Amino acid sequence: MLQISWHGNDDKQLIKLITSSKKLMVLDVLTYKQFSENDIEQITENCSNIQVLKINSQKSITEEWFRCLLNLPKLEMLSLPRARWKDIQLFCAFICEFIFRAPSLRVIQTFSHIDILEAMIAKAKKNESKTYFCNFRYKYTPDLYPNNFFTFLSNPSISAIRKDLTIFPCSDYFYWKRIPIRSEKMNNELFDVRLFFYSI
């Protein structure tokens, strides 16, 4: 695991640090630096075992980014909470395509959009033996959720934290795997879980 808050000016040193960890499974980066297409290409080519990727401050995401991320066959969680495009529909189209093509992806945290939500629901329906999670801040019809699908809030309020059943510990990037598939008995209860990805 590499959890790093980087405020230095030597961007090459940061990339070198990341790519030197060939067996890296978790990469959680908070930095003012915006990773380029070349940066993400180097990371995905050298760290193909990554299962959790969190780049909390990244705003600039390109089509090439998603192509590079497909080099991570074990990627289960992708967190790009600040990623934005001027063309929201095109941005969502690329994310949705990535969701369908990424073989192991089960948790997505990015821009809240109905198309992204529905892409994750479709993915969950294809594999009912595993749970799937998507951040979504708007009210939606939970009757459409399969029993193995949950939504969560990216930035909870203090009052929400007190009410919620499940919180992601900041030190455990795989806690979400312990959340069980809903049983028939649970169907009339809360459909959303409050799973919070705390940043460093």
What pLDDT sits at residue 68?
A: 97
User: Residues with Cβ < 8 Å from 127, sequence gap 6 or more?
Assistant: 148
- Please state, in angstroms and rounded to a whole number, the distance separating the CA atoms of residues 193 and 187: 13
What pLDDT sits at residue 87?
A: 86
What pLDDT sits at residue 178?
A: 84
Indicate if the pLDDT at residue 160 is higher than 60: no
Q: How many CB atoms lie within 10 A of CB 143?
A: 7
- Please state, in angstroms and rounded to a whole number, the distance separating the CA atoms of residues 161 and 92: 29
Please give, one letter per residue, the 3-state secondary structure of the chain: CEEEEECCCCHHHHHHHHHCCCCCCEEEEEECCCCCHHHHHHHHHHCCCCCEEEECCCCCCCHHHHHHHCCCCCCCEEECCCCCCCCHHHHHHHHHHHHHHCCCCCEEECCCCHHHHHHHHHHHHHCCCCCEEEECCCCCCHHHCCCCEEEECCCCCHHHHHHCCCCCCCCCCCHHHHCCCCCHHHCCCCCCCCCCCCCC
Q: What is the pLDDT of residues 16-55, one digit of tens each?
A: 999 998 899 999 998 888 899 999 999 999 999 999 999 9
Write the CATH number of the domain with boundaries 2-135.
3.80.10.10
Radius of gyration of the chain (CA): 17
Query: Which sequence spans correspond to the domains of the chain?
Result: 2-135
pTM of the predicted model as reported, rounded to 2 decimal places: 0.85
Could you tell me which residue, 123 or 30, shows the higher pLDDT?
123
